[in-house]
Amino acid sequence: MGTPASLTLVLVPGLMCSPRVWEPVLPHLSPHIQTQLVDHESSSSLVEMAKRVLDQCPARFAVAGHSMGGRVAMEMMRMAPERITHIALIDTAYLPRAAGEAGELERQRRYVLRDLAYSQGVRAMARTWVQDMVHPARLQDKDLIEAIVDMFAAKTADTFAGQIEALLARPDASDVLRDLKIPTLLALGRQDNWANLAQHQAMQALAPHATLDVIEEAGHMAPMEKPLAMGESLKRWLAPAL
């Protein structure tokens, strides 16, 4: 038998997250997967984030994006489809901000958190934000909650404000999903209240060949809540290439 192939998996974090969101998953990946962790630094548009990540990537690679990182991954696909061999979109969505009252309500909800970060600090904002981001049973898990809060608190309120503006100006990625021909994974925590199962099912309707994995007993922060299950999902997605 030959030696298994190796590939590079670029792991893209979401809103106010850093490579730390992916670190719990790393021990559960195949040893033949070379991972590359990236950060968005001060980028304040999805296009800028996508260009920044692409500049750091090898000529050919697989990409997995969590939350806002899923939207960044789709922008990367729009810009350089010839370079991406596999794509995983995790706890994310694809539509632009709604018009009218619904879009205004989203803007106000995000600005409440932004203003809290400026007035009371990012750590205080993160303690509010995290209440809706994990499975309710994990809210008493001090280690998990502190890991998430510490990750957020390492970034500034200005970074948060810039990333909020990036999300409010997000493009419609329906065309990216329709055009996907590469192995595609859609995964989410069952109790994700921000990017729920219905949204991922709508994404699969646009990309019917995609695999949809639901991570049980997890919320929006599934990579940190259930790293073993997330690692297994990623391994199944990439296994045929190894």
The answer, yes or no, to whether residue 3 has pLDDT greater than 60, is: no
* DSSP for residue 131: G
Rounded alpha-carbon distances, angstroms, from residue 100 to 13, 31, 97, 105: 29, 48, 9, 9
Angle, helices 142-153 vs 122-129, to 10°: value is: 140
Q: Where are the domains of the chain?
A: 7-97+171-241, 100-163
CA distance 95 to 167: 11
% of the chain with per-residue pLDDT over 70: 98
Instruction: Determine the average pLDDT of the residues in 34-51.
Output: 94
- Residue 42 is predicted with a pLDDT of 84
Give the length of the chain.
242
Q: What is the CATH number of domain 7-97+171-241?
A: 3.40.50.1820
Average confidence score pLDDT of the chain: 96
pLDDT value of position 4: 56
Check residue 1 and give its pLDDT: 40
Sheet holding 61-66, edge to edge: 33-37, 7-12, 61-66, 84-90, 184-189, 211-215
pLDDT (mean) for 181-193: 97
Mean pLDDT along residues 84-99: 97
Residue 101 neighbours by CB under 8 Å, 6+ apart: none
- Looking at residues 28-41, what average pLDDT do you find? 94
Residue 33: pLDDT above 60? yes
The helix or strand, by DSSP H or E, that contains position 104, with its residue range, turns out to be: helix 100-120
Residue 193: HSE in the Cβ half-sphere, 13 Å Cα cutoff: 8
Tell me what pLDDT residue 209 has.
Answer: 97
Predicted pLDDT at 242: 86
**Using an 8 Å Cβ cutoff, are 184 and 64 in contact?**
no
pTM (predicted TM-score): 0.95
- Looking at residue 41, its pLDDT comes to 86
Q: What count of other Cβ atoms lies within 10 Å of the Cβ of residue 32? A: 15
